[in-house]
A and B are shown apart, each in its own frame.
Chain A
Amino acid sequence: MSTANTVLKLTPLSHWHEKHGGRMVDFAGWSMPVQYQSVIQEHHQTRKAVGLFDVSHMGRFFFFGTDVASWIDGLMTRRIAGVDAGKIRYSLVTNENGMILDDVLVYHLACHPDDAGAFSPSQESGESFYMVVVNASNREKLVNWFQSHIPEGSDIRLEDRTEETAMIAVQGPRANEIIAKLSSIDPESLAYYAGVVGKVDDQWAILSRTGYTGEDGCELIVDARVAEGLWEKVADQAQAIGGGASGLAARDTLRLEAGMPLYGHELSEEINAASTGLGFAINHKGRKFCGDEAIVKSKEAQKDPVRVGIELVGRRPAREGCPVLVDGARVGTLTSGTLSPTLEKPIAMAYLSPEFSPVGTKVDVDIRGKTHAATVVTLPFYRRPKS
């Protein structure tokens, strides 16, 4: 991948990554650390203690205006209108054909009047507000998508605050205890997928009990100018308990073990939302949204490929694009694959023809011309131990 002629965007933490041995790569136009030392070690430290991830490249859109909730609701597969302040919803954004434009988190935050000065200066005191976190690769597309759906004459407004803020994911069984020490709010006091505006290390932050690793933990959104100072403090505390900074490669193996889809792999504009197995994030009951009818149609027809987990025999990792075969005939394609550092087995996700998607189905995976025995298994591959 040659990026010599591209000027990559830097996050507020890029300088820190470079100083600390981060191998920087182009990820959706951002200079991001793929790893610092060993991917496997960065994976394990997150499962066992705490991993610190710079996810500032993800887009952060703030929405303002009258009836913004019902408007956002019309563009999300998941119900947003009527969701209590303080809650966060994972949702898909689909086009009119039910095809996936992105997967996002929609935050509904109850903004304390004092807090309004921190994150929504243009807003009336005491009002709640909505924020959507989108994938870096889809940021521009989604800005345009949302803008083009604002009705004429409406006071709804989107502010893309990605580059004036930073986003840090602190993940792992000991993540919350570190943040609790620095924060006015103990992350443990938040429900899973809840978020608040509060102070972390004496700086305003949106603190949420969310993540993309399959571990407990939280994510922080802070002013770009204070990000490095906060990151250093959290990194020092993490290191003291056997954790530390983890790169995008470990983030990928962690999310794959946790069975979580990644846009551009398991999710794309070629894939109908009904195919993804993300039924929990699609809600038709008593509501309409963009793409809803096409999703219902795909679901009823049961002809579109289905997202599955695959475990291979042996140790050879299979990769995205590998054909999946049954009796020599192609029945699907891998969308992600790696050697699972936790399970020490090759794992993958794939889209398969519905008749071959049941758990337990024996398949073959063609890795560069050689077939390897594999089985369709239940997702996720890894579930964190209940504390």
Chain B
Amino acid sequence: MESEVKPEELLFAESHEWIHVADVDGEKIGTIGISAHAVEALSDVVYMELPEVGATVAREESFGEVESVKATSDLFSPVDGEVVEVNTSLPDNLEVLNTDPYGAGWVIKVKLTDDQGLAKLLDHGAYESQCS
């Protein structure tokens, strides 16, 4: 089970992904997911295309996609890094995106190779006002 994280502890990209960065054995590990607002706006998510462990992700570049009934949306990485874990149970349990977007609905974990990108992200309050 993931440790409980509150939205207030997360950073958000304008493209609606969130990231939570923690120090694990001296490495910066970022857990990345999709904001509750984005999940609601997408509605009817039916499929996710996720990267493999070991894949390289780059800031503001697509690392996967989420499909609703009517459209395909890219998932953009908020940071540069390497994928160290993928929530492989997610595509079969897409409802957790709705029920627990900041917990069980996490998408990938990334070992950050550069944390420059973090400074450009929004805190929860700033993100919420972007969405309102």
Contact = CB atoms under 8 A, between A and B. Distances in A.
Interface of A: 34-35, 37-40, 43, 249, 252-253, 315-317, 319, 338-339, 341, 368, 370
Contact of B47 (A35, A43, A315, A370): A315
Interface stretch (B1-9, B52-60, B63-71, B111-119): B63-71
A35 B67 contact: no
A238 to B, nearest CB: 20
A368 B69 contact: no
B65 A249 contact: no
Given A39-B68, A370-B49, 15 more contacts: A37-B43, A38-B43, A38-B44, A39-B44, A39-B70, A40-B44, A40-B69, A252-B70, A316-B47, A316-B49, A317-B46, A317-B47, A317-B69, A319-B72, A341-B69
A34 B65 CA distance: 21
A317 B67 contact: yes
A274 to B, nearest CB: 31
Contacts of B68: 39
A34 B43 CA distance: 12
B72 A339 contact: no
A338 B70 contact: yes
B43 A339 contact: no
14 contacts: A37-B43, A38-B43, A38-B44, A39-B69, A40-B44, A249-B70, A253-B69, A316-B47, A317-B46, A339-B47, A339-B69, A341-B69, A368-B49, A368-B65
A4 to B, nearest CB: 18
A163 to B, nearest CB: 27
Interface of B: 43-44, 46-47, 49, 65, 67-70, 72, 91
Nearest to B49: A316
Contacts of A37: 43
A320 to B, nearest CB: 11
A38 B70 CA distance: 11
A39 B72 contact: no
B70 A316 contact: no
Interface of B is mostly: strand
Interface of A is mostly: mixed
A188 B67 CA distance: 39
Contact of B46 (A249, A315, A319): A315
A35 B49 contact: no
A33 to B, nearest CB: 13
A38 B40 CA distance: 10
A37 B67 CA distance: 17
Contacts of A338: 69-70
B67 A316 contact: yes
Which of B44, B47, B68, B91 has the most chain A CB atoms closer than 10 A to its own CB?
A: B44
Nearest to A43: B69
A109 to B, nearest CB: 35
Contacts of A368: 49, 65, 72
The 3 A-B residue pairs whose C-beta atoms are closest, nearest first, are A339-B46, A39-B69, A249-B70
Contacts of A253: 69-70
Contacts of A370: 49
A317 B66 CA distance: 10
A338 B43 CA distance: 14
Contacts of B49: 316, 368, 370
B67 A339 contact: yes
Contact of B43 (A35, A252, A315): A35
Contacts of A38: 43-44
Nearest to B43: A38
A319 B65 CA distance: 13
Contacts of A34: 70
A251 to B, nearest CB: 11
A341 B43 CA distance: 13
Contacts of A316: 47, 49, 67
A183 B128 CA distance: 48
A306 B44 CA distance: 31
A11 B13 CA distance: 37
Contacts of B72: 317, 319, 368
A275 to B, nearest CB: 26
A43 B70 CA distance: 12
A3 B46 CA distance: 28
Contacts of A315: 46-47, 91
B91 to A, nearest CB: 8
A27 to B, nearest CB: 12
Contacts of A341: 69
A130 B87 CA distance: 59
A249 B69 contact: yes
